[in-house]
Amino acid sequence: MSDSDSFYRHIAQTSSEPMGLEIDYAEGCSIYTKDGKQYTDFISGIAVSSLGHRHPNVLKAIREQIDRHLHVMVYGEYIQTAQSNFAKLLCDQLPKNLDRVYFVNSGTEAIEGALKLAKKSTGRQKLIAFHNSYHGDTHGSLSVTGRRIYRDPYEPLLPNVFFSDFNSDDVLDIIDESTAAVILEPIQGEGGIIPAEKEWLQRVQKKCRDTGSLLIFDEIQTGFFRTGSLFSFQQYDVVPDILCLAKAMAGGMPMGVFVSSSSIFEAFKVNPPLNHVTTFGGHPVSAAAAYANLSTLLSDDFESKAFHIEKKSREILTGPGIVELRGRGAMLGLELESSELTAKVVRNCFDQGVILGWTLHSNSLIRIAPPLIIDNELLTDTLKLIRKAIQTAIQD
């Protein structure tokens, strides 16, 4: 039985039409398939491969760690150098109130942990989230995801979750002394690449402080220079109480964290002890990869690289069929005039060796999220190819 036969027969499918590329290997900005084709990965594995595929620094760290040890104990019991080194390096980049990390395996697990931490530390149950948000597909994360089409099949979800419009002051009337946390993406990703308004976000933070509610930032997509700054909250002059990270954190290895203060994390130690645990969270190989990944990101001017991607995209992606290009840095959404046009453009580009995609909540929006290491020539050529594909699709 071939790999393809096994894939379609034995692997649970998430859609009726998976892309179905048979991957041979990946390197830098490219993915190579077993039939000899090369594809430019212009979505970075959905905002994961910010340093490209198989960055040598990340590979070196992985090889060195597997020569030491793999899993040795469930999270939080043994002192492991890979975990300790990465935790310190990450916290060194963050404000003083974000001084402690809890390692998990993925973004949705980071959200789950953050929700539990907020409820446990405040003693409250009310959660506030936003329409068109996306925080993951496990039950807790889905409970604060603001799209009914994904929620309805799994009702009932968590109780006491209230939704408001993003960038609307209506939320200020919902936040009160019974609120455990407000959770939001500083830029809604799957909801259509919608940035939060700075002044609005600051008003939300103030209301949280006035009521003793915690502010959770989901930076699973926006983190690690994707939007220009190391973390998106740095562009808003707002510091969350809990920060959730994953995707680009470990250079292609599975890892997530939620970060908060030592005082808030005290809630996880008692009543009962071990009330939130994970077997593989902070796996030493992933932790070593994450340390190498962040060290590499900090060693160069990736802020400028992200903003160069935005600048070049705005220069080239103009003309008929294009409604808007929105977002920041290398997290951009290209909205076209119709879902039909979008589908044609994505297919046309795919046939020409460029991998694009659209977001979960908007079938007229093309995701633009190339690796931050992309050189100017490949970036320019790919953007021109997309513009040409739009022109061709309009004429068809």
- 20: tokens are 């179905």
pTM score of the predicted model: 0.97
Task: Assess whether pLDDT exceeds 90 at residue 37.
Answer: yes
Instruction: Clarify whether residues 13 and 116 are in a common domain.
Output: no
Instruction: Clarify whether residues 137 and 260 are in a common domain.
Output: yes
The pLDDT assigned to 361 comes to: 65
Taking the mean position of all CA atoms in its chain, how far away is CA 138?
A: 15
Instruction: Clarify whether residues 199 and 107 are in a common domain.
Output: yes
Instruction: Clarify whether residues 247 and 141 are in a common domain.
Output: yes
Query: How many folded domains does the chain comprise?
Result: 2
Domain limits for position 19: 3-54+301-395
Q: Using alpha carbons, list the distances in angstroms from residue 23 to 38, 354, 355.
A: 10, 15, 13
For the chain, report the end-to-end CA distance as a whole number of angstroms.
40
Q: Note whether 288 and 82 are within 8 A (CB).
A: yes
| Average pLDDT estimate for 193-207 | 98
How many residues does the structure list for the chain?
396
**Domain stop point among 272, 298, 324:** 298
Instruction: Clarify whether residues 14 and 136 are in a common domain.
Output: no
pLDDT band at 41 (very low <50, low <70, confident <90, very high): very high
- Alpha helices, DSSP H, located in the chain: 3-10, 44-47, 56-66, 81-92, 107-122, 139-143, 148-151, 198-211, 262-265, 284-298, 302-316, 339-351, 376-395
Cis before 95? omega within 30: no
Instruction: Clarify whether residues 231 and 100 are in a common domain.
Output: yes
pLDDT band at 357 (very low <50, low <70, confident <90, very high): confident
Choice among 165-174, 209-218, 361-370 with the minimum mean pLDDT: 361-370
Q: Note whether 320 and 381 are within 8 A (CB).
A: no
pLDDT tens digits, 299-349: 999 999 999 999 999 999 999 999 999 999 999 999 999 999 999 999 999
Say which residue the tokens 């992200």 belong to.
Answer: 306
List, as one string, the DSSP characters of 270-309: SSSTTSS--SSTT-HHHHHHHHHHHHHHHTTTHHHHHHHH
Q: Using alpha carbons, list the distances in angstroms from residue 100 to 182, 231, 234, 254, 329.
A: 20, 16, 18, 20, 28
pLDDT tens digits, 73-99: 999 999 999 999 999 999 999 999 999
Say which residue the tokens 């977002």 belong to.
Answer: 327
**Domain stop point among 298, 323, 358:** 298
Instruction: Clarify whether residues 317 and 292 are in a common domain.
Output: no
**Domain stop point among 271, 298, 325:** 298
